[in-house]
Structure 1
C-alpha cells in the first residue's frame, strides 16, 4: 500500500499571508503530496494558488469591536474550530501549517484538539498576534528574519530560520546578477506601494525627482505604481520634468520590472522585503506607520544594517531626503553595486525548500500513515458490518 501524504495549510486573508502559503503548497505538490488550503473569502481571491490545491473557507472572527465584537469573534472561531476538526478527520493531514492571520486560528486549534502535528510560519520581523497565541501550542515556529521581536523566550527551541518563500521568477533574478550601470547609462527606478499603491509615494517621489540635476534627469527612467486617484497627477509631473515614466495602478509583471530596476522605492511589507533581498536589489523603504505592531519598520532592520537599503519614517520621507539618496546611489561610483551585493547577502533564496523540509520533518513516518489508513479502513469496515446487522434486525 502506498501512503499518500496530506498537508493542511491555513492562512489569513492578505497577500502577505497567502503568497508564502501558495509557495509552500506548490513545493509540497511538486514533491508528490496532496495539499488543502484554508482561508477566508478574501484570501482565496488572491491570485497565485497552484491549480492542484484544494481550498476551504472556514469561519474565523476578527477579535475587534469591544465586548460585543469579542463575543462574536469567539463564536465564529469556535464554529470554525469545529468545522476544521471535521476537515482534519476527513482529509487526514500529516501536518497542519498556519501562516498567521485570524483565518489560520481555527485550523491550528483543531490540530491541537486532534493531536495533529502543527507549526506556524511568521512572515514579519514581529511575531503576529495569532502566531504569538499559538506559539506555545505548536511543534515549530518558522521565521523569516534572524531577529524576531515579541518572540516568547520559552519557545526559543522551536524557532527555525527559513526565510519568506518567494516566487521562482524572483530567485531567477538573483541568479542573473545586478544589471550594469555605466557612468552615463540609464538609471532605472521602480516605485511600488503594496497591492494598491501608496499616496505618499505619489506625492514625494516625483517631487524628489524634480530636485535632481538635469544631467541625471536625462538618464532617468521610472516605473511607478500609483493609486487610480493619483495617476494623472503623477504622470503630469513626470511629463513636465521630461522624464521617461510609466505609471499604473498595478504592476502585473513585477518580476520583469524588478529584473529591470537598479533601485526600488517601496513600502516594507514582508513579501516585498523578501523579494528585494532575494533578487539583490537595493531599496529606499518607507514603512507603513499604521501597520500592526509597527512590523514594517522591523522588517527592514536587517537589510538596513547590512547596507542593502535605506529606511525613512514616513515623517522623514521628504523630497529633499529622497533626492539626496537618489543622487548618491546614481552618481557615487560603486555605491549602488555595493548596496545590491549587501541586499543579496540578506536574501534567503532557498526559503521555500527549507520550509517544505521543515514541514515534512514533522510528518509521521510513511509506515505510520499506512498503519493509520489500514486502521481507518478496518474501523470503516467494522462500522459497515455493524450497520448491516442493525438493518437485518
Structure 2
C-alpha cells in the first residue's frame, strides 16, 4: 500500500537507541516511498552513527520532568514551550502531513506544536508498557501504534485508536529472517553474543565471564564470545575472559550488530525493546536479564512474550548469578535440537512487517479516504505471522 503523492513527515524521538532505531527504520521506509522526512531529537539522538544519514535533523529544547525534583519543573515547562515554538516555526516551512512521536521527552515539543497547528499525529510505543510521554499525549493523538499484543498502562478509553504493528528493525536485521540458524555441530564452535543494549550493562560484565567459566570443560573449550561492555568495565572483563581462557572479543559499541546476530547461537542480553525486536526478527534464542530500574519495569514486560513462546529464558537480576547462568547455559547449549527449536519459537513472535505497517498507518493519517478503520489491529494480517 502507498500514496503516490510525495509528502513531508516529522519523526520525533528521545535520544536512546530504543527510540531512535525504530524511528530510523520508519524514516528509511518513508524515504523509500518517495516522501521527505525530518527528525526532531536531542543531542544524543542526532549523534547515533549511521542511523539518519541524509535526513534533515533538528535539536530542540525539551524540559525533563523528574518526580523527585519538582523544583525543576518550572524550568522544564519553559524549555518545553521554547521547543514547541521552534517546532511550530519549522512546520511553517516544512509543512508536515503528520508528526510521529517515538517516546522520550525530546518528542514532546514536536507533538505539542502539532496539536497547536492541528497536524495529524501518532505515537509509536516500543515497549510492552506505555511510556510516560506517550501516556501524556495518548488522549490527543490520532493513532497509537503498539509493539505487543498486550500493552500495559494503556487506558481502555484509548483502545479504539490502537494499531498493533510491532517494533521496526533495520533492514539488515530483517534480512536474517531468511537465513538459517547457524549450524551447531556437536563439537563445533558455540558462539555467544553478550549485549546490554546501546549503553552496555555492568551486571552482564560482572556475571557472564565467571558463569561461562563454570561450564564443563568440553563445553567451555567450544565457546567464542563477543561481549559489548561499558567503557569503564571493558578492561576488567577482558582480563576475566583471559584468566578463564575463553576466547572473547570486547567492544563498547557493536556497529555490525546484524552480523553479530547472524552467527550467534545464543544471546545473553537485557530486555530492551530493540533487543527483543531484533531477537524475534532474526530468530535467536536468548537468556534475558531485565533491567530492574527500568521505568514501570517495562523490560520484564518486554520479555514475557518471547519467554512464554519458548524462545528465551528470563532471569531476574537478583537471581542472575554465575551459578544460575551456567545452569541455564547447559540446559540450552548441550542440546542443539532444543536450541534450534528455541530459535524457531523466538522467530514465531516476531512481527517482520512492522515498518511497512507503521508506514501504512502514517500515510493514512491525513488521508480520510485511506484512513484505517478505528480499532483495526494492523494494515496487514501477515504482520502477526
Scaled by the length of structure 1, the TM-score of the pair is 0.90
Question: Which structure dedicates a bigger proportion of its chain to helix?
Answer: 1
The partner residue of 2:33 within 7, 31, 34 is: 31
1:294 aligns with 2:294: no
1:50 CA displacement? 3.6
Q: For 1:227 and 1:78, locate their aligned partners in 2 and report how far apart those are by CA, in whole Å.
A: 35
- CA root-mean-square deviation: 1.7
Matched positions, count:
366
Q: Which residue number in structure 1 is paired with residue 42 of structure 2?
A: 40
1:88 aligns with 2:69: no
Q: For 1:180 and 1:308, locate their aligned partners in 2 and report how far apart those are by CA, in whole Å.
A: 18
1:263 CA displacement? 0.2
Q: For 1:346 and 1:32, locate their aligned partners in 2 and report how far apart those are by CA, in whole Å.
A: 30
Q: For 2:250 and 2:119, locate their aligned partners in 1 and report how far apart those are by CA, in whole Å.
A: 48
Q: Which residue number in structure 2 is paired with residue 102 of structure 1?
A: 105
The partner residue of 1:17 within 16, 19, 25 is: 19
Q: For 1:149 and 1:330, locate their aligned partners in 2 and report how far apart those are by CA, in whole Å.
A: 33
SS in 1 for 2:138: helix
1:230 CA displacement? 2.4
Q: Which residue number in structure 2 is paired with residue 112 of structure 1?
A: 115
CA contact (8 A) 1:164 1:348 kept: yes
The partner residue of 2:366 within 363, 368, 371 is: 363
Q: Deviations over 1:243-297 (max 9, x none)?
A: 2221222222211111010000001111111101110000001111111111111
1:194 aligns with 2:197: yes
1:249 aligns with 2:265: no
SS in 2 for 1:300: helix
The partner residue of 2:208 within 205, 209, 212 is: 205
CA contact (8 A) 2:184 2:336 kept: no
Matches within 5 A, 1:112-131: 112-131=115-134
Q: Which residue number in structure 2 is paired with residue 67 of structure 1?
A: 70
Matches within 5 A, 1:221-260: 221-260=224-263
1:62 CA displacement? 0.4
Matches within 5 A, 1:201-350: 201-350=204-353
CA contact (8 A) 2:46 2:52 kept: no
CA contact (8 A) 1:94 1:364 kept: no
CA contact (8 A) 1:63 1:70 kept: yes
CA contact (8 A) 1:121 1:143 kept: yes
- After TM superposition, the structure 1 stretch with the greater mean CA deviation from structure 2, 340-349 or 175-184, is 175-184
Q: For 2:53 and 2:236, locate their aligned partners in 1 and report how far apart those are by CA, in whole Å.
A: 40
When Rg is computed on C-alpha atoms for both structures, the one with the higher figure is: 1
Q: For 1:243 and 1:60, locate their aligned partners in 2 and report how far apart those are by CA, in whole Å.
A: 46
Scaled by the length of structure 2, the TM-score of the pair is 0.91
Q: For 1:276 and 1:147, locate their aligned partners in 2 and report how far apart those are by CA, in whole Å.
A: 19
Q: For 1:129 and 1:228, locate their aligned partners in 2 and report how far apart those are by CA, in whole Å.
A: 30
Structure 1: gaps spanning 5 or more residues: 367-393
CA contact (8 A) 1:177 1:280 kept: no
Q: For 1:11 and 1:72, locate their aligned partners in 2 and report how far apart those are by CA, in whole Å.
A: 21
1:365 CA displacement? 6.8
Q: Deviations over 1:21-66 (max 9, x none)?
A: 1111111011000111111122111223343321112221001263
Q: For 2:92 and 2:348, locate their aligned partners in 1 and report how far apart those are by CA, in whole Å.
A: 43
Q: Which residue number in structure 1 is paired with residue 382 of structure 2?
A: none
Structure 2: gaps spanning 5 or more residues: 370-385
Q: For 1:271 and 1:359, locate their aligned partners in 2 and report how far apart those are by CA, in whole Å.
A: 20
SS in 1 for 2:139: helix
- After TM superposition, the structure 1 stretch with the greater mean CA deviation from structure 2, 164-173 or 51-60, is 51-60
1:180 aligns with 2:177: no
Q: For 1:153 and 1:365, locate their aligned partners in 2 and report how far apart those are by CA, in whole Å.
A: 24
Q: For 1:84 and 1:237, locate their aligned partners in 2 and report how far apart those are by CA, in whole Å.
A: 49
CA contact (8 A) 1:8 1:97 kept: yes
Q: For 1:239 and 1:57, locate their aligned partners in 2 and report how far apart those are by CA, in whole Å.
A: 43
